[in-house]
Amino acid sequence: MKNYFSFIAICFVAMMLFTLSSFAGKSSHPLIPREPKPERIEPTQTSEISQAHLPRKPSPHSDSPKDLQWVLMDSMPNAYGPAHANINPLAYDPWNNHIAMIYRGALNYQPPNLTTGSLWYGSSHDEFTTWARVGKLNADIDQYGRYPSCAISNPNHSSTPADAIFMYSFPHLCSGSAFGCIGFGLEPFLQNTPFNVMSLDNSYGSSTYIWTSDNHPSAYFLVPKSDSLCFWGTVNQGETWNENACWLDWTDIYGERGQSKGDTTYVEAVVEDTSVADYIFFKINKSTNNGTTWSGWENVLWKTIPQLSEYDNLGSLDFSIAHDFVVDAYGYEHIFFNVVDTNVAPNRLHIVEAYRTVNGWSGNIVAQRTLSFIPGFAALSQMDNELQAAISEDRRTIVVKWVDAPVEGETDGDIFATGKRIGWGDWTFSSNLTQTSGSDGREMFTHLAPRFENSPLGFEVTVYLTKTEQLAIVPDPMLDDTQPCALWGAKACVPFIIDLYVTEREPGKPPKFKLYSNYPNPFNAQTIIPYDIPTASVVSLKVFDVNGREVVNLYHGYQEAGQYKATYNASHLASGVYFYRLNVQQSNNVIFSASEKMVVTK
């Protein structure tokens, strides 16, 4: 079992406050412009003269003793490299326990040159206790790579790092001046022999998103192209790549994600389509043959999901759409995004989840957001609350991370996270992972590794984070996103509450489906619900009040044949009569359903 870290003291100064983008009133359009806000292109050269005489930060946040234990990873010529909501520059391989990150570092570190930059990557083998710079991409050919993404391909689940392949993709400034080109490549992990392939097409966008298969030597990346979305794939760990598909099924595109589970590849996008009434929504497409053919785009109209119907717009505090997408162990998709209810004053701004079930799409509130938080850094703001999601090695636990002010009225952000075990209760309380004091600065340009190891304890998981901070200690008027910055990395423990714990009552295969009376009944806080499943099935166990309204979804997922008992903590329920129902499905058909009554007394 891994040792969980202790919190230590760390140091940083306050960042300047700048004006909060005000909320628009109720509208049929989300709180974003019709055209996506263009990403800033950092200058080829930046100056460090104004900071030359200032002291350097040995570590962030010495005035915040509850902050994470951050390790200095490297320096960058400016803050731009990780400052994009639609990239994944941080990767973690749960099988060889290595973290890797691709970033735009200095052109040269020996001798130091912080006036321009090239793409580098580094790695940690000890969960961010230490960090090592591995090398520069393609022997210094590329000064014009921007917003890079990376993934680690390890289809055999080897614990030896040399058996893995480091893969990456990035937008490339055509002729060093404008977005339009892309680069991608591979490197035997940690060998410092990276190889790039460049595409000189000048119509690609300013971000790429790359991911790998869990059990095949396949990898994929997505890149916008004009108003379309293009899918690139490789079936041989990057030796050859092909642009397998380009879709133009919408008016505009605001973000894209990809996942692979088993033999299925999933592509998700948030798009604008003026032919649809609620015309900014999500789309999902699937392929079972590495992108050769596709199932066709499915519209996920989030406003039609009953649990989310009270929200009237996608929410944002800087006009960008922060969202993420994962696929669980059962092949069900989960989309995380921000929504706002402008029908009340003040507006309500929430992080929510839309997720597929056997009966269609459902929704959850993940966390509440403040209206006072100011995203970004100096002139650069294009990540909103930096919302990102990660899923465990077994795809049964999800963690969501974001940045927000700790209380309404404050403007500087801390890093928050919450977790959920699939089928084992609702989203837990939000954990403030950094708890920086009000005078100690803001967290910004943070990233969450998309994968993490299975939970050894069952009630918390370890995830991996990075952030960006100005390298020098400067007074507020000198804050400048073009100045040298530092990358910091840390691990964090995210707890989650299990309302239901399912175990086998006794070994053996039961003769028939059966739901038993719970015991004790009546009960105060905890009760046991026994049931039998004679053949492998998708099982749903829910609690309803006397009016038939669903109170909680206790369990939903695949189960092998067995005699089970569900230990349920109902301390959140008021006294009264409730009903619990067991539904069993096979091949999308309900083959068994039964209900029982339980009484809560307090």
Phi, psi of 413 (to 5 degrees): -105, 150
**By percentage, how much of the chain surpasses pLDDT 70?**
81
Phi, psi of 204 (to 5 degrees): -80, 160
For the stretch 284-327, pLDDT in tens is 999 999 999 999 999 999 999 999 999 999 988 888 899 999 99
Output the CA torsion sign for 115, 113, 171, 31.
negative
For the stretch 187-228, pLDDT in tens is 899 988 777 777 767 789 999 999 999 999 999 999 999 889
- Mean pLDDT over residues 414-435, rounded? 84
Choose among 457, 316, 426, 423: nearest CA to 3.
457
For the stretch 245-256, pLDDT in tens is 999 888 889 999
CB distance 443 to 434 below 8 Å: yes
pLDDT at 142: 59
Least confident span in 27-41, 72-86, 355-369? 27-41
For the stretch 342-389, pLDDT in tens is 989 889 999 999 999 877 899 999 999 999 998 876 557 789 999 999
Residues paired with residue 399 on neighbouring β-strands, in sequence order: 390, 419
Cα separation of 471 and 473, whole Å? 7
Choose among 153, 155, 163: nearest CA to 216.
155
DSSP three-state, residue 261:
strand
Residue 13 per-residue DSSP state: P
Output the CA torsion sign for 501, 505, 506, 507.
negative
pLDDT band (50, 70, 90) for residue 333: very high
pLDDT at 94: 95
In this model, does residue 144 exceed pLDDT 60?
yes
pLDDT at 428: 75
- Mean pLDDT over residues 86-93, rounded? 97
Cα separation of 490 and 130, whole Å? 10
DSSP three-state, residue 278:
coil
pLDDT band (50, 70, 90) for residue 15: very low
- Mean pLDDT over residues 62-89, rounded? 85
Is the peptide bond between 111 and the residue preceding it cis, with omega within 30 degrees of 0?
Answer: yes
Rounded-to-5 percentages of helix, strand, coil across the chain: 5, 45, 50
CB distance 152 to 189 below 8 Å: yes
pLDDT band (50, 70, 90) for residue 12: very low
pLDDT band (50, 70, 90) for residue 87: very high
- Mean pLDDT over residues 513-537, rounded? 94
Cα separation of 152 and 131, whole Å? 17
pLDDT at 567: 86
Least confident span in 54-58, 143-147, 296-300, 383-387? 54-58
Cα separation of 501 and 503, whole Å? 7
In this model, does residue 439 exceed pLDDT 70?
no
In this model, does residue 103 exceed pLDDT 90?
yes
Q: Identify the burial level of 554 via C-beta atoms within 10 angstroms of its C-beta, where 0-12 means exposed, 13-18 middle and 19 or more buried.
A: buried
Residue 31 per-residue DSSP state: S
Which domains does the chain show, CATH number per domain? 68-495 (2.120.10.30), 500-600 (2.60.40.2550)
Cα separation of 521 and 588, whole Å? 33
Residue 302 per-residue DSSP state: G
- Mean pLDDT over residues 1-16, rounded? 32
**By percentage, how much of the chain surpasses pLDDT 90?**
50
pLDDT band (50, 70, 90) for residue 47: very low
- Mean pLDDT over residues 541-545, rounded? 88
Q: What's the chain's average pLDDT?
A: 82
pLDDT band (50, 70, 90) for residue 2: very low
pLDDT at 555: 78
Least confident span in 358-367, 374-383, 396-405, 415-424? 374-383
Cα separation of 542 and 495, whole Å? 23
For the stretch 255-281, pLDDT in tens is 999 999 999 999 999 999 888 877 799
Cα separation of 521 and 290, whole Å? 52
> How far lies 139's CA from each of 80, 107, 194, 372, in Å?
22, 11, 8, 45
Phi-psi label, residue 411: left if phi above 0, alpha if psi -120 to 50, beta otherwise:
alpha
DSSP three-state, residue 467:
strand
